[in-house]
Chains A and B, each alone.
Chain A
Amino acid sequence: MVENQKAGQDNDQPLLLAEGLSKSYGRLMACRDVSFALYPGEVLAIVGESGSGKTTLLQLLSAQLAPSAGRVSYRMRDGVMRDLAALGEAERRFLFRTDWGYVHQDPALGLRMAVSAGANVGERLMAVGWNHYGRIRDTASSWLERVEIDIGRIDDAPRTYSGGMRQRLQIARNLVTEPRLVFMDEPTGGLDVSVQARLLDLMRNLVSELGLAAIVVTHDLAVARLLSHRVMVMKGGRVIETGLTDQVLDDPREPYTQLLVSSILPA
């Protein structure tokens, strides 16, 4: 259970608002009529099995996919709510490079595998106009430290890194521009259990220290419990149950959620 929330202290306006979001591929409805509000500092987990529409929803929310119906609005840094579909190219680029992070399940999709770790982190800073080499390198190394990567490895390319290190590097690359919202798609998928625990602990601390809002797609209910304040359970493209994370996991209402919760293997 995540207990140190900073959400809602003085942030009474939603950061992101989804209204009636749907996406169909021909006759297949991958996502149906999803509506919710995400507030600053709030961590929302989207859970469900493969094919339930979680990743489609994440792509709709992060403007990587255009909805068939409905819309997503985001509160820009000037405080104005904007429909993502109506943003200009420069504004979209600002969101992707600065105000948002996107952590992929496969670090190779979120990193440039052949350039150094330092450059991977520094690149996001250069994209927002930093040009002083020394400052970029200092900031990059302090971020590597925060994600527990040995500074001695700063000039090595991530293809020489282990899976857990790559994932931590991807997180550093995303957080260096101090985004307000981070999307994560199965951030611990494919990692060993011990590596997962370390990564989860790190993410949990970073999210609460930085007051980040996050939307985390996961099929792992333990990840949802440790990281998120709220959960949405998806099945067949629909949100079938939603609520406080510990409430949904300890007192699930819907048959499918009860099945998910009861399917966890005890350690």
Chain B
Amino acid sequence: MTAMIEITNAEKTFVMHLQGGVELPVVSGVSFRVEPGECVVLSGPSGTGKSSILKMIFGNYRCDGGRIGIRHEGAQIDLATAEPRQVLSVRRSTIGYVSQFLRAVPRVATIDVVAEPLIVNGAARAHAREQAGSLLRSLNIPERLWALPPSTFSGGEQQRVNIARGFISNLPILLLDEPTASLDAANRAVVVDLIDEKKRAGVAMVAIVHDDEIRHLIADRIVDVTSFAAAA
């Protein structure tokens, strides 16, 4: 088996205790796999659980049943049952997550925010910053902003910083939650190029994109999430 991600019958239900224990089934029977170098796009109207599936693959949402098999350091690990330390290890060396929103750390310069994932994995600071700079340049973040913390930036700039931070790593799996949502055409094209580059490097990706044109450009396969809609 070479699949990077292999999900079998995963399911998720929220129990809202503050609303009298209402059960909110989100998804069930989620099954699909992603091979290296492949970009799978999750499709379906909002509210069908696309983001929840992405969060389950990242270990951010707990999985109530089934299996989330991730190829991690040469072996398959089931994230649905993994220990917190294992999930952290998977996030450090296997799975990256690019969300729409940057959770900014106060006071850290943009260039360091972007370089951090490389440094954590042992790259030299100078080399990491160099790569961070070239990504920021290609995403049209002017050099005079690099030394400032991104918390002061506009929404679109923050999103591009986040994309740079997500794409700088050499992780074999990337999860993309609407990476192009509020970008202009030029920057959308840059992101499409970055995704292509990752494909050539053998990275397995799962993406959510609402823009039909972008979906067309990046998707190798589309998984329709409505078929996983949990019966309420």
Q: Which residues of A approach B to under 8 Å, CB–CB?
A: 1, 3-8, 39, 42, 197-198, 200-201, 204, 226, 229-230, 243-244, 246-247, 250-251, 253-255, 258-259, 262
Contact = CB atoms under 8 A, between A and B. Distances in A.
B107 A198 contact: yes
Contact of B105 (A204, A243, A255): A204
B103 A7 contact: no
Contact of A7 (B17, B85, B105): B85
Contacts of A243: 62, 84
B84 A201 contact: no
Contacts of A5: 88, 92, 120
Given A7-B88, A255-B17, A244 B59 contact: yes
Interface string B98-114: 00000101111000000
A258 B18 contact: yes
A223 B142 CA distance: 32
A201 B107 contact: yes
A4 B55 contact: no
B56 to A, nearest CB: 9
19 contacts: A1-B103, A3-B91, A3-B117, A3-B120, A4-B116, A5-B92, A6-B120, A7-B88, A8-B89, A39-B85, A42-B85, A226-B105, A229-B88, A244-B84, A247-B61, A247-B62, A251-B61, A255-B17, A258-B16
A197 B106 contact: yes
Nearest to B52: A251
B87 A3 contact: no
Top 7 closest A-B pairs, CB basis?
A: A255-B17, A4-B120, A244-B84, A251-B61, A197-B106, A8-B85, A258-B17
A73 to B, nearest CB: 18
B217 to A, nearest CB: 29
Contacts of A3: 91, 116-117, 120
Interface in B50-85: 55, 59-62, 84-85
Contacts of B61: 247, 250-251
Contacts of B106: 197-198, 200-201
B119 interface: yes
A247 B60 contact: yes
Given A42-B85, A258-B16, A258-B18, 7 more contacts: A243-B84, A244-B84, A247-B60, A251-B55, A251-B60, A251-B62, A253-B15
B193 to A, nearest CB: 25
Interface in B107-140: 107-108, 116-117, 119-120
A195 B105 CA distance: 14
Contacts, number: 65
A244 B88 contact: yes
Given A4-B120, A5-B92, A197-B106, A244 B18 contact: no
A39 B88 CA distance: 13
A224 to B, nearest CB: 14
Contacts of A6: 120
Contact of B60 (A4, A250, A258): A250
A226 B103 CA distance: 10
A193 B85 CA distance: 31
Contacts of A229: 84, 88
Nearest to A249: B60
A198 B87 CA distance: 29
A197 B119 CA distance: 23
A258 B24 CA distance: 14
Contacts of B60: 246-247, 250-251
A144 to B, nearest CB: 19
Nearest to B82: A244
B23 to A, nearest CB: 13
A246 B62 CA distance: 10
Nearest to A44: B84
B223 to A, nearest CB: 22
Nearest to B15: A253
A3 B106 CA distance: 14
A253 B23 CA distance: 12
A201 B117 contact: no
Nearest to B18: A258
Contacts of A198: 106-107
B18 A259 contact: yes
A255 to B, nearest CB: 4
